[in-house]
Amino acid sequence: MTPDPIRMKRKVQQLGSSTLAVTVPVDWARHHDISKGDEVIVQRDENGGSLLVVPEQPTIEDVEATIDADALTADALERAIITQYVLGRQLIRVEATAPLGLEHRNAIMSAERRLMGLGIVEQAETTVTVRCSVAPEDFDLPTLLGRLSRTEAVIRGDALTALIEGDTDLVETVNSRQEQVEKLFYLFLRLVFTIYRNPRLNQVVGLETGFPLIGYRSVAQDVVLMTDTAIDIADLATESATPDPTTASKLTALGEALDDAASATRSAVTTPDYDATEDARDAFELVDDRIAELNAHLEAERPEPLLALQRAVVLLERSARHARDSLSVATHLAFRNDPSLVTGE
């Protein structure tokens, strides 16, 4: 039977009266240039069921990548560059056997604009090299998540204002700000993947590996989905007239309630505390009340533009569901932060 290169058995040895030891694979030690006397980091998972051994200075390979432009369309090339960026590559080379066409070069420049810290450092007829200058030490994930969330909140607020006031110029502003969220999200994914490959960086970015890392990734995705929903709300402003003052007031009240609930949820995620999650739940109860009030008003008064207003309520309710998903992560983090809240048998 061929040995499994991933799972390897080791016998536990006793050294002295109170010390147990296991050996590490020699190939792994050579790969990381580890010898007798060197220190390694041993990390437990959150349940204490497994240990992860990490070199003090891990050898991270695959910092460079080469993309074959001949095999890809322009759109596929742009996606490939984004993928390599998220995977943590520092240097990405785009190569072709013939001179790169305008569409392919535009795709490279588009990826450069969409990704933070990415820049073209070398160009030739058949090759383009881009480098990412972002280092994990430059950011911490809680702060980055806060920036992402605040940007989404501004977009959502502007989208509602555009709908209520019929401001088509503001719609364009909302659509342009979507690029900011995308740029922050791709950077967030890059840092998450970097930490996954090199867990010792968790102290640098202010987050533990395991569930916190997975949870933050989930919350960031919720923020992106909320942004997409806000864009849809803004687009309604270009398709319909403005609502009457009473309807606009109720729509504003719903937006403010959602702002408070989303903000409380993000705070509960970044500073895990069970009381904070309860505050967020209370805020969501007000969101539910505002949704019910607005739906009742629309049903009773049938104000115009009725279809657009009904669609806006559906979209805001969807946004609230995404924020509630983040609250589930915050609750788990709170239980994890204070194990006394839940005990197992």
Each domain of the chain, given as residue ranges in start order, spans 13-55, 64-132, 138-341
270-282 per-position pLDDT tens digit: 999 999 999 999 9
Sign of CA dihedral 202, 44, 269, 113: positive
The residue among 22 and 252 whose pLDDT is bigger is 252
pLDDT greater than 60 at residue 14: yes
Write out 200-248 in H/E/C secondary structure.
HHHHHHCCCCCHHHHHHHHHHHHHHHHHHHHHHHHHHCCCCCCCCHHHH
- The per-residue pLDDT of the chain, averaged, comes to 89
Give the mean pLDDT of 102-112: 97
Q: Are 306 and 244 in contact (CB under 8 A)?
A: no
Q: What span, in angstroms and rounded, lies between the C-alpha atoms of 30 and 24?
A: 10
Higher pLDDT, 277 or 63: 277
Pairing of strands 40-44, 51-55: antiparallel
Residue 147 has pLDDT above 80, yes or no: yes
pLDDT above 90: residue 122: yes
Q: Which tops the pLDDT comparison, 343 or 309?
A: 309
For 64-132, the fitting CATH number among 3.30.110, 1.25.40, 3.40.50, 1.20.120 is 3.30.110
Higher pLDDT, 204 or 168: 168
Residue 156 has pLDDT above 70, yes or no: yes
User: By percentage, how much of the chain surpasses pLDDT 70?
Assistant: 89
Q: End-to-end alpha-carbon separation of the chain, Å?
A: 40
What percentage of the chain reaches a pLDDT higher than 90? Answer: 67
Residue 272, Ramachandran bin (φ over 0: left; ψ between -120 and 50: alpha; else beta) = beta
Tell me the pLDDT tens digit for each residue of 226-239: 999 999 999 999 98
- 138-341 has CATH 1.20.58.220 classification: yes
The label of the residue with tokens 């190569």 reads 95
**Cα(148)–Cα(186) distance, rounded to whole angstroms?**
11
Taking alpha carbons only, the member of 210, 294, 304, 307 closest to residue 258 is 294
